[in-house]
Structure 1
Amino acid sequence: MAASSERDAALVEAARQGALWAQDELVAAYLPLVYNIVGRALNGDADVDDVVQETMLRALGQLGSLRDPEQFRSWLVAITMNRIRSHWQTRQAAPAVAGQQDLHDVADPGADFVDLTIVQLGLQGQRREVAEATRCAG
């Protein structure tokens, strides 16, 4: 585990210096984790992709505020939980009218969310989109 956190710390430092390859590697390494957390927390809600994208954009945009680069994983999980909490609060403030959600937006809550996401959304395409979005936002 120490080798992984040391490697992550090196990637974080490179990403802080503007290395796009390092940002891409961080996204590639941690996108499945973020999808798993968000997917389980939101129980397959149609907004999972949006919350994941917001999480990754926020994390990459705030790398400078991470005090200890070896703590990237736990820091990212904390950001993920904050984005989930924010999503829930937004949802509670404006509850959906029953029956308005299209049936195709509802994912199977019994499915393994990481595997389902990788198959349905194409992880490579998602990583590329997130990387491109971070380049445009930064």
Structure 2
Amino acid sequence: MDADADNHHELIKRAQSGDVDAFAELVEAHQGLVFNVVMRSLNNRETAQDITQEVFIQVWKTIANFDDRAKFSTWLYRIAMNALISHLRFTRAQKRGGEKADLSFDHNEEHRLDPSHDRRREGSEASSGDAEMERSET
């Protein structure tokens, strides 16, 4: 593991312990990547910024559950894609039903934030998500 990876691992551990400064460093390191992935799907800067913010709120709420045997970028990508899908579903429901859009939580989506579930699915989907995040880094 190189020095950057060691530092990254340390930031994750500190954030899992509630260290807000460590979490802020993780956000700084990854927010551009998340924004780019979301922006490519939406082509709407303001909405992409909102979704990126929601992603990191979700990351903060669930980082204690992150299993460091998984890649952080894969886990982060999955959260970003879930947030994007939720946004698209909500937007579509709003267009169809006006104010009757269903905002209820989909309990089937909860497992998607579970890193052990991602490891079971790590084949094509997780690796494609990781590749997407890595392409965004360049």
Query: Does TM-score exceed 0.5, indicating one fold?
Result: yes
Q: How does 1:8-87 map to 2 (within 5 A)?
A: 8-44=8-44, 46-68=46-68, 71-87=71-87
Q: Is the 8 A contact 1:12 1:69 kept in 2?
A: no
Displacement of 1:47 after TM fit? 1.6
- Is 6-15 or 32-41 further displaced after alignment? 6-15
Partners of 1:11 and 1:70 in 2: CA distance? 15
What amino acid is the match of 2:31?
L
| 1:53 CA drift (Å) | 0.7
Q: Which runs of 5+ in 2 are unaligned?
A: 97-138
Given residue 25 of structure 2, which amino acid in structure 1 is its aligned partner? E
TM-score between both structures, scaled by the size of structure 2: 0.62
Q: 1: CA distance between counterparts of 2:85 and 2:61? A: 19
Query: Could you say which residue in structure 2 is the equivalent of 1:114?
Result: none
Cα RMSD of the aligned pairs, angstroms, is 2.0
Structure 1 runs of 4+ with >3 Å offset = 1-6
1:9: how far off?
Answer: 1.6
Scaled by the length of structure 1, what TM-score is found?
A: 0.62
Of structures 1 and 2, the one with the larger relative CO (CA 8 A, separation 6+) is 1
Deviations 1:46-79 (A, max 9, x none): 4212111100110111001111266111100110
How far residue 7 of structure 1 moved from its aligned partner, in angstroms, is: 2.5
Gaps of at least 5 residues in structure 1 are 97-138
CA distance, structure 2, for counterparts of residue 90 and residue 77 of structure 1: 20
Q: Which residue is equivalent to 1:91?
A: 91
Deviations 1:58-105 (A, max 9, x none): 011100111126611110011000000000000110118xxxxxxxxx
- Paired residue total: 96
Contact 1:38 1:51 in 2 (8 A): yes
With over 3 angstroms needed to count, the CA separation of the structure-2 counterparts of 1:17 and 1:77, relative to structure 1, is same
Give CA-to-partner distance per residue, 1:88-127, whole Å, 9 cap, x none.
000110118xxxxxxxxxxxxxxxxxxxxxxxxxxxxxxx
| Secondary structure of the structure 2 residue equivalent to 1:68 | coil
Q: Which structure carries more helix by proportion?
A: 2
